[in-house]
Structure 1
């Protein structure tokens, strides 16, 4: 990307600033839309736009990079809502298990994404490799957001 030096701690800090604000915003967006899944869908779209601009735009300074750290944090701030939506898919008797299992499945796929990225780097540039992995992951995320059952204003008192 042509950036001389990035301070990893500062990048993480700005990312978490965005995530904190995004977490709060996702709840308000969900309430305004009266839909958890549409709030997640729109936040995914916001994140995707940020990723595309970051990878293929003119992100060539440290300041621009940190701005994208905040942007991507804002977009991925739906994590708490994602966990809530996932848990609400299950009855009260197994909801606790789902609440802990679903995020761990997501985290567990990170090594698969890293392996795919590393394999792709042999045939493509780093940016194109990241874009390919991102395309697959965002595709799965959008498909999931569209097809999952809506839980906003749904009676959740049921068992499996």
Structure 2
């Protein structure tokens, strides 16, 4: 084997130079602290905006409730008129159908079947037709927008 002529690949005299694995890159963009600060400010502004909108919403709800309370006596009076009108029609139909036909001459139209002396509203088929806030729903949809009345 010693007779084989070959040339061994060796390092140059003095060795190889340093490997340039570090790059001198310039700094680009904001630092981490600046980005964290910007995110904190954006979060603060978002929370502030949401709190402000919640405050406005609560004031609008309160104003709507006060507005309804102004009309409540009017709506309640209208409901009472409707109940009395219906009660009168019921008594007239009882007088016509029971007493007028001679079925029960001793029957008193409008008497309470439960024998109670206090006033009770007559039984109605549609309970929610003239409840106090019904007029509000005639003119507003579910989101509070005005729509044409009945």
TM normalised by structure 1 equals: 0.27
Instruction: Considering Cα pairs closer than 8 Å and 6+ residues apart, tell me whether 1 or 2 has the greater RCO.
Output: 1
TM normalised by structure 2 equals: 0.28
Larger Rg: 2
Greater helix proportion: 1
